[in-house]
Structure 1
């Protein structure tokens, strides 16, 4: 296989291959493979970590952690772990992206990988250092189970019970009258991620079905959503940092997917996603999700009642960086930032006199998963930030945005 360029965008856990070169070879490589078993059904427990699906995969009496990601066009395995599998080298590619080290990766075919007792044979994958995943998940992931493997079977995602079910045929699952059947569409390339039609108010889009998006329910680039954004000029949240492009959050009056019409849904318009438009786990987790890739059908059955979305958040948005062991400022409300000029890289030193400097990775994880949930219920917070070597004292307040 000749050299091909690959773009990996992991911030929302989705990666896409450039279609510029050798699409025929990429299609053959991504679509190859099958299951050893012809008649099967299995249940696989998963960990649900910050709205991401993480699987334990056994290989050579060792346990490895892989993300289950329908938005990844192929599986990814860290080179250290790849050595545990029998593979066939298919060539190499150049890889680049905002959160990884640019360089070359290997295309391979994995002769056998076992998930839930099912043998997936000769599926395409790339070998790439997964070190960048530690920043998001606190622990380095060993790989990603992507579309090149997932499409060899029918899957059901039971978020409520944290179970994946996998079968050879859609008939192994009970699809009743309370289940919504939605058509999916494969891209012109003939492989990779599948899209569903999503109508936001009166404008229709194609959004990727992406279980690797744990950050947002629905997210797309502001340029793609500019018409809808104009309709919400007085009812949207504008977010940026100094010298950074502006992102937006708003509540769409209606979102239609299949025959379902959902009211008051939060939509995120973020520059970081590039040209991607993604449906993620924060939407899907309200449903029992069954996916029949062979026939391009997505089935959704409501598993819990949910209130209409609201936007009630602080003037600053944070996220933990488990590599640096710091709580970072991710975004700021535009008018607040115009006044205080918060820059990318600003670090939270304390919240309400709770010292967050010098934390271990485990302490940061515990703060984010426990204490932060309680702090979010308050209407204001007292902060000390560190920016350009200087400490800044701030009070932030909660903002409420109505549809």
Structure 2
């Protein structure tokens, strides 16, 4: 998510190490009826798909996250549905921090008229994490549920068709480009991608990442002639809400490709340490997307949504729950923000005249939801008790 509004969004991905058999069995469980087709609406928030699903006749809001190997529900939902803890497992987030998390099986998750049964689910309060709280989501749907169906995602209509197979989607398939994917743990789909013609292994199809392309720093060697900007500060939030400072890079790559003619020229790519390679919804929202776990393929066809360049001023900022203030948390060298004097840890007093000093979490979420993330122009910042106005207007 290359914008000046918020820090990069990586938290909805997790891994496990040393899995016990019961845990693996829980994640690999699940089934649905033999023949089904349903159409459901969705909304997008902070670049992510949010949809409604029912558990025991109660409707909840879920994040659609193909990069997650398991669904997540809150402790409150678990209590309401009377589910039992089946096992626990040490789960690491993208910052290599871990907790012992509890897992259960949800007997029935109903999406439209399609019922997914006995789905392995992690128990975690996502709303305790400020960045996720702004999504107003009760939980998360992961690939361990998605792999039991075929999904047609239409960003123009803001609807998803769910069916038992490709033919049952009842959608014309002409003009789609198809790319084979392989399944990781929990059914997470990954593909080979190409950076200036060089193959990049294991790139996750991650609808839980609101940005475009994020690759491991080690693949930067494939684009030695690319001009990079180096960034400092917090580039991502972990599953447990922790913020880890790191050095990151970004640059306009001559050619990034998903294969089979799905090429992107002068694509802005983010390179971040040892993180997993990701292609996010910042790419997919410009396509009709079919996720077909039966044939292990993703199919894409360009939709009519215009792709315009987003202003990128080279910094990002985030909310501090402890004092209710907003601070610069990531900054790139040679960016417009840096050249005009913005520094890490500067307090943001206002943006375009809207006060951000000593605000509540709800006010922060409203600010994030209501504003075009490319429209930042006039900021008032504070450093060591002195305030300064900064006007941004040139994109890097």
* TM-score past 0.5 threshold: yes
Shift of residue 114, structure 1, vs aligned partner? 1.3
Cα separation, 2, equivalents of 1:251 and 1:297: 28
Query: Which residue is 1:332 aligned to?
Result: 331
Q: Is the 8 A contact 1:111 1:123 kept in 2?
A: yes
Normalising to structure 2: TM-score of the pair?
Answer: 0.83
Counterpart position of 2:270: 268
Shift of 1:339: 9.4
| TM-superposition CA deviations, 1:104-152 (whole Å, max 9, x none) | 3212122222111212111111112223344334255221111111111
**Other-structure match for 2:344:** 343
Q: Secondary structure at the match of 1:295?
A: coil
Measured in 1, the distance between the counterparts of 2:321 and 2:198 equals 39
Which of 236, 240, 246 is the matching residue for 2:232?
A: 240
Aligned partner of 2:155 in structure 1 is: 159
TM-score normalised by the chain length of structure 1: 0.82
2:180 equivalent in structure 1: 183
Moved more, 128-137 or 253-262: 128-137
Which residue number corresponds to residue 227 of structure 1? 221
Q: State whether residues 153 and 167 of structure 1, in contact with CA within 8 Å, keep that contact through their aligned partners in structure 2.
A: yes
Aligned twin of 2:145: 149
Assess, with a 3 A threshold, how the Cα gap between structure 1 residues 394 and 138 changes in structure 2: closer, same or farther.
same
Q: How far 1:61 sits from its partner (Å)?
A: 4.6
Query: Residues 397, 384 of structure 1: CA spacing in aligned structure 2 closer, same or farther, 3 A cutoff?
Result: same
- For residue 287 of structure 1, report the CA deviation from its aligned partner: 0.7
1:338 CA displacement: 9.4
Superposition deviation, residue 340 in structure 1: 5.4
For the aligned residues, what is the CA RMSD?
3.1
- Of residues 235-244 and 255-264 in structure 1, the stretch that sits farther from structure 2 once superposed is 235-244
Matched-pair contact (CA < 8 Å) for 2:156–2:305: no
Matched, 1:109 2:89: no
Determine if the alignment matches structure 1 residue 355 to structure 2 residue 352: no
Structure 2 counterpart of 1:304: 304
Q: Greater relative contact order: 1 or 2 (C-alpha under 8 angstroms, separation 6 or more)?
A: 2
Which ranges of structure 2 fall in alignment gaps of 5 or more residues? 1-7, 235-243
Q: Is the 8 A contact 2:149 2:162 kept in 1?
A: yes
Give matches, 1:191-230, under 5 Å. 191-205=186-200, 206-214=202-210, 216-222=211-217, 224-230=218-224
State how far apart, in whole Å, the 2-side matches of 1:121 and 1:383 are: 52
1:75·1:143 contact (CA, 8 Å) conserved in 2?
Answer: yes
Q: Quick one: structure 1 residues 81 and 330, their matched pair in 2 at CA, closer, same or farther if it must change by over 3 Å? A: same
Residue 257 of structure 1 corresponds to which residue in structure 2?
Answer: 258
Shift of 1:236: 2.4
* Rounded Cα–Cα distance in structure 2 between residues aligned with 1:341 and 1:45: 41
Where does residue 77 of structure 1 map in the other structure? 73
